[in-house]
Amino acid sequence: MALRPDLRDAAMRWIADDPDPVTRQELQRVLAGAMVGTAGAAEELADRMSGPLRFGTAGLRGPVRAGPSGMNVAVVRRATAGLAAWLARDGARGTMPDGVQGTVPDGVQGTVPDGMRGTVVVGRDARHGSEAFAAAAAEVLAGAGFHALMLSEPQPTPLLAYAVRNVGAVAGVQITASHNPPADNGYKVYLADGAQLAPPSDAEIEARSRPRRPPSPCRPRTRPAGPRSPSPTWTASPSSRAGRPGA
């Protein structure tokens, strides 16, 4: 399989946007192999770029690897940005009882501070990559104005669902792939009632996870032929001096 220009360009854009140097270099090696004609490299690159991962059974699941069709920090960040945007659409805000203990990125514990949108509990299992993915999710949520409450150790998924209800959170994220093969990982979303994410909410979050396309270039407008209208006359006054061109 020959390397298509559109596949090459898509891989280069993903590499440029990948915040993780490990997966960035991983995809660079695959792309370099495809560019010099290494056997199977173009096929592997096409497989990695065949994503994005789609929401199903309450979240995402896929092999831990670089590219949009794998589980990696870049994919987790995009998914969490979509979740944060979806939660914020209604000004999602929960309550957290005083005395609740947890590891929070900004060190905040207790009642949700003024200006924050609510608590989102973030948990993880012991799979490869889970700790980094949980930290990435918490960082995005905190940056979006949510109180990210991280469970300090790997925990079973039911504990995450319980914690969401127990602390009055607006949602929960568990980094786990459940019964998937050991090389996989995943991202599960739980709502304020402790239930798994279900349609149509999963599709709404997925839509908000997609990067926006840049606007199409605009052509300059041409002035129609004919006499030009006279230039406006500006009258200076003490109260309107700021409105004069050049003022």
Report all structural domains of the chain as residue ranges with CATH numbers, in order of start. 1-50 (no CATH), 52-209 (3.40.120.10)
Q: How far apart are CA 154 and CA 34, in angstroms?
A: 38
Looking at mean pLDDT, say which of 154-158, 210-214, 219-223 comes out highest. Answer: 154-158
Quick count: other Cβ atoms within 10 Å of Cβ 8? 16
User: Per residue in 105-122, pLDDT tens?
Assistant: 333 333 444 456 799 999
Size (the chain), residues? 247
Which residues participate in catalysis according to the annotation?
Answer: 178
At 89, list the tokens.
């659409």
**Residue range 35-54: average pLDDT?**
95
Q: Is the pTM value of this prediction over 0.75? A: yes
3-state secondary structure of 184: strand
Q: How far apart are CA 144 and CA 141, in angstroms?
A: 5
Residue 23: pLDDT band (50, 70, 90) is: very high
> How remote is the C-alpha of 152 from its chain's centroid?
22
pLDDT for 171 beyond 90: yes
Q: How far apart are CA 244 and CA 242, in angstroms?
A: 6
Higher pLDDT, 214 or 143: 143
At 32, list the tokens.
């370099």
